[in-house]
Amino acid sequence: MALLCLQPPAAAARVSVLCISAQALLDALECAAHLLGCAFLPQLFTAFASIAFFKLVIFLIVEMRYVVVICHSRDPQRFFNGGINQLRQEWALIHLRFYGTLFACIMAVYIFQTHINLLVLLGYCYWVPQIVTNALRESREALHKSYLFGMSAARLVMPLYYYGCPQNLALVILGKTRAPHFGMCFALVAVTGAQIGALLLQKRLGPRFFIPARFLPARYDYCRPLPRRDLEENSDSFECPICYAEVETSVARSSGHMITPCDHVFHETCLERWMEQKLECPVCRNGLPPR
């Protein structure tokens, strides 16, 4: 997760905010569960408190920080146009939404505790928003394989222990006995495996391989013809705003150019390198659609 926070803005923009937020909610709920364990079992206070503190650091500092990084990479101007006060308001709004959702999740668990298994399965569909984001933004490699497999395996440990171990610590605290629920264990593994498989297929076959072509939105063509007005005003050549070298009109009509939606002309290699860092126009700072 720490490595994800060091990604350039263009790479962070490919990651789903809902995906990271869902994982942060899971960590927050596990933190609350371990804090309850501290209250019920004072003799194990140190162990439960250590895990709760670890989960607190993960969701409060690491994951929430990465949520802010993603939001900033999606719309950098929104964060800084209003100065420091605007930045504080955006931070406060993100945290308000998160803790409001966390409170709603806790209430849902309390109200629908008779359907806890269904809620657990829904909670472990946290890769679904990333699958949708990949399709919308045409991203093939938003998440590294090591992160994908590592986080999936780590998050399966606790529910598999709870459902698969007949004398787990939670049942001991509640003073109950129960047979192992292997069906739920299989369902959790199957749901997680299906999501991982979909992400890997998106990387191999394309982010929209499962969507019929007629339902796909139109892509923006960076190699579109130059507007007639620009051709008349710049009959000889254009200057690339990144490298300041000339982009001849004849070249701009072939595959050696890229034109942004705001009608600025660049060399293809120059703009591609720029878009690896920022998805905004180098000239006017307007947002750029993914390529």
Each residue's pLDDT, cut to its tens digit, for the chain (291 residues) gives 544 544 555 677 788 889 999 999 999 988 888 888 787 777 778 888 888 888 888 888 888 888 888 877 777 666 666 666 777 787 788 888 888 998 998 899 889 988 989 999 999 999 999 998 888 877 777 788 888 999 999 999 888 988 888 777 766 666 777 788 889 999 999 999 999 999 999 988 888 888 776 766 677 888 877 766 555 555 556 788 888 888 765 544 455 778 888 888 888 888 888 887 777 888 888 878 876
Q: Is the residue at 117 inside a domain?
A: no
Instruction: Check residue 228 and give its pLDDT.
Output: 60
User: What's the CATH code of the domain at 232?
Assistant: 3.30.40.10
Q: Which of these three, 59, 79, 111, is where a domain ends?
A: 111
Q: Is the residue at 116 inside a domain?
A: no
Q: Is the residue at 78 inside a domain?
A: yes
Which one-letter DSSP state was computed for residue 220? Answer: P
Identify any residues that bridge with 34 across adjacent strands, giving them in sequence order: none
Residues 157, 81, single domain; the answer is: no
Which one-letter DSSP state was computed for residue 225? Answer: P
Residues 24, 68, single domain; the answer is: yes
Q: Is the residue at 285 inside a domain?
A: yes
Instruction: Check residue 2 and give its pLDDT.
Output: 44
Q: Exposed, middle or buried, 130 (CB in 10 Å: 0-12/13-18/19+)?
A: buried
Residues 275, 258, single domain; the answer is: yes
Q: Which of these three, 79, 111, 143, is where a domain ends?
A: 111
Q: Is the residue at 200 inside a domain?
A: yes
Q: Quick one: three-class SS letters along 237-275?
A: EEECCCCCCEEEHHHHCCCCEEECCCCCEEEHHHHHHHH
Task: Give the torsion sign (CA, 198, 203, 204, 209).
Answer: positive
Domain residue limits at 268? 219-291
Residues 207, 224, single domain; the answer is: no
Instruction: Check residue 237 and give its pLDDT.
Output: 64
Residues 25, 46, single domain; the answer is: yes
Whether the CB-CB separation of 271 and 288 falls below 8 Å is answered with no
Whether the CB-CB separation of 141 and 61 falls below 8 Å is answered with no
- Strand-strand pairing, 257-259 and 246-248: unpaired
The number of domains in the chain is: 3
Residue in 128, 138, 137 with CA at minimum distance from that of residue 198: 128
Q: Is the residue at 38 inside a domain?
A: yes
Q: Is the residue at 156 inside a domain?
A: yes
C-alpha dihedral, 57 to 18 to 103 to 189, nearest 10° = -80
Helix (H) or strand (E) holding 14: none
Query: What are the φ and ψ backbone dihedral angles of 200, each rounded to 5 degrees?
Result: -70, -40
Residues 154, 196, single domain; the answer is: yes
Residues 99, 23, single domain; the answer is: yes
Identify any residues that bridge with 247 across adjacent strands, giving them in sequence order: 238
pTM: 0.74
Residue 178 tokens read as 């129960």
Residues 132, 90, single domain; the answer is: no
Residue in 40, 16, 25, 11 with CA at minimum distance from that of residue 155: 25
Residues 70, 103, single domain; the answer is: yes
Q: Which of these three, 59, 81, 111, is where a domain ends?
A: 111
Residues 206, 230, single domain; the answer is: no
Residues 103, 48, single domain; the answer is: yes
Residues 7, 52, single domain; the answer is: yes
Q: Is the residue at 91 inside a domain?
A: yes
